Amino acid sequence: MNPTFKEAFTIKGLAGEHKLQGTIGIHGAKNAALKALAAAVLFDGPVTLDNIPDTNDVGLMIDILSKLGAKVTKQSVHTIVIDPSSISHTAIDTELAQNMRSSVVLTGPLLARFGNVTFPAPGGCVIGTRPIDLFIEGYKKMGAVVDLIDDRTYSISAPTGIQSTELFFNIQSVGGTETLMMAAVLGKGKTVLKNCAMEPEIVNVAEWLNAAGAHITGAGTTTIEIEGTGGKLLNSKQSYTAIPDRIEAGSFLILGALCAKSLTIKNCQPKHVESVINVLRDSGVEMDIGVDTITVRGGKKIKPFNIRTHEYPGFPTDLQAPIVTYLTQVEGESMIFETIFEGRFKYAEDLSKMGAHITIMNPREILIKGPTPLVQLPEMDELRAHDIRAGFAIVLAALVGTGSFKVHNVHLIDRGYEKLEEQLTALGAEVKRIPV
């Protein structure tokens, strides 16, 4: 998997008109698929994973698994078979892991199955400090020995297996919850995890693991209990299907409210984006909600609103940047309080260059005064994606803007959105992927 770094999007702005129209289908959830790929290590043979989005991060996780010796077969664009039986070592590749924070999730299943793992402090999106202390402390509580081999490489071993324990997460962490849950699946006795994250992706993976022989209760609540199998591997006949990507759905909901006459989002789970539906609806956006569809009609007069990002089921941090782009077009003042990650406002500078009135009050709060037209920049002053979601926010800004725009660093958008330009083109947007 080799992301193409030298690509940009060219986007013709709609000058604020609500012109886009049509239907788009939501892909499988990247943040569930990545964890399922890691969890495949716990299985007794080749296991099939379905509805896996074809994004760069999924490609990276496949590369990391392959480097460990797992046999990975792509049966079709969205179906992957992983055979963990051939894993020959447990040292996660440094270079690959540096590019993706969720590589750290693999440490749980590797430790559970092989009793040891070596991994570099992970990299990933540039969205502030993202420590791994919860993982390290969790492993210690589970009876593992953690060594820092050099400044950046951890070696963890649990030669007698993961021991039963009870632990409380000081911060609700999606990756921490998933990783320690997976580590405990093959362990001895009962593990109780408290103050867990409740994201639907955790439930999706836990339900699959249970169907394959794991004993997990409480996923989707703040207390998860895992009765370890005592080393018995999970049944590879049980395939996995990723739930629809709620962040992709939420992104398109915001896009629809901003740029579409009428946009139907299909193959989604509306209840997973209730926080987004709620703020948009309260502010005046018209929507029809079906069982697995949402139709959004833009063009109405919208009231400004304030948001605090929150763990699920609150307003997701991953939609903070897109909603700020949206609020630049709404009359009045809106405030956003980013509670999950510090320093996730890098994209705001680009929006300001385009004409937005945005004040970063502090690393967590941002004030938006709208509406302001967003305009084409001088040739030398081009836009770029800072991370996956900030990238989507900039694409959104270009779409609503006046003029022609070039957005660089498309490989970062590709980490989380599958062929975004094709989805947008199908709705009537003029978006092209070009080499630069």
Name the site residues for ligand EPU (rule: CB under 6 A).
31, 34, 101-102, 125, 130-135, 171, 173-176, 197, 247, 316-318, 340-341, 388-389, 416
Separation of CA 165 from chain center: 29
Task: Give the C-alpha separation, 219 to 207, whole Å.
Answer: 8
Let me know: does 395 contact 407? Beta carbons within 8 Å: yes
Rg of the chain, C-alpha, whole Å: 22
Between 113 and 389, name the residue whose CB sits nearer to ligand EPU: 389
Q: Are 123 and 131 a contacting pair, CB within 8 Å?
A: no
Tell me the residue type at 313. Answer: P
Q: Closest Cα partner for 421 from 386, 381, 392?
A: 392
- 240 with 47: CB under 8 angstroms? yes
Q: How far is the CB of 368 from ligand EPU (least distance, A)?
A: 21
Of the candidates 307, 310, 375, the one whose C-alpha atom is nearest the C-alpha of residue 341 is 310
Residue with Cβ nearer ligand EPU (123 or 143): 123
Q: How far is the CB of 305 from ligand EPU (least distance, A)?
A: 21
Question: Exposed, middle or buried by CB within 10 Å (0-12, 13-18, 19+), for 38?
Answer: buried
Q: Rounded to an integer, what distance in angstroms lies between the CA atom of residue 148 and that of residue 206?
A: 30
- Which of 354-392 are b and which e, b meaning 16 or more Cβ less than 10 Å from the residue's Cβ? bbbebeeeeebebebbbbbbbebbeeeeebbbbbbbbbb
Active site residue 125: yes
Least gap, CB of 93 to ligand EPU (angstroms): 18
Q: Checking DSSP bridges between strand 47-50 and strand 240-241, what pairing results, if any?
A: parallel
Q: Which is nearer to ligand EPU, 13 or 316 (CB)?
A: 316
Nearest CB to ligand EPU, comparing residues 165 and 229 = 165
Task: Single out the catalytic residue among 125, 196, 259, 268.
Answer: 125
Query: In the sheet that 7-12 helps form, which strands lie side by side, from edge to edge?
Result: 383-384, 404-408, 7-12, 430-435
Closer to ligand EPU at the Cβ: 63 or 318? 318
Question: How many beta carbons lie within 10 A of that of residue 121, not counting itself?
Answer: 17
Q: Which is nearer to ligand EPU, 120 or 316 (CB)?
A: 316
Taking the least distance from each CB to ligand EPU, the nearer of 138 and 401 is 138
Q: Determine contact, residues 9/419, Cβ cutoff 8 Å.
A: no
Nearest-CB residue to ligand EPU?
175
Coarse DSSP helix, strand, coil percentages of the chain, rounded to the nearest 5 percent: 35, 30, 40
DSSP string, 54-99: --HHHHHHHHHHHHHT-EEEEEETTEEEEEGGG----B--HHHHHT
Shortest Cβ 412–ligand EPU spacing (Å): 10
- Of residues 177 and 264, the one with the C-beta less far from ligand EPU: 177
Least spacing, CB of residue 344 vs ligand EPU, in Å: 9
- CB of residue 11 to ligand EPU, shortest distance in Å: 21
Shortest distance in whole angstroms from residue 63 CB to ligand EPU: 16
Least gap, CB of 294 to ligand EPU (angstroms): 20
Active site residues per annotation? 125
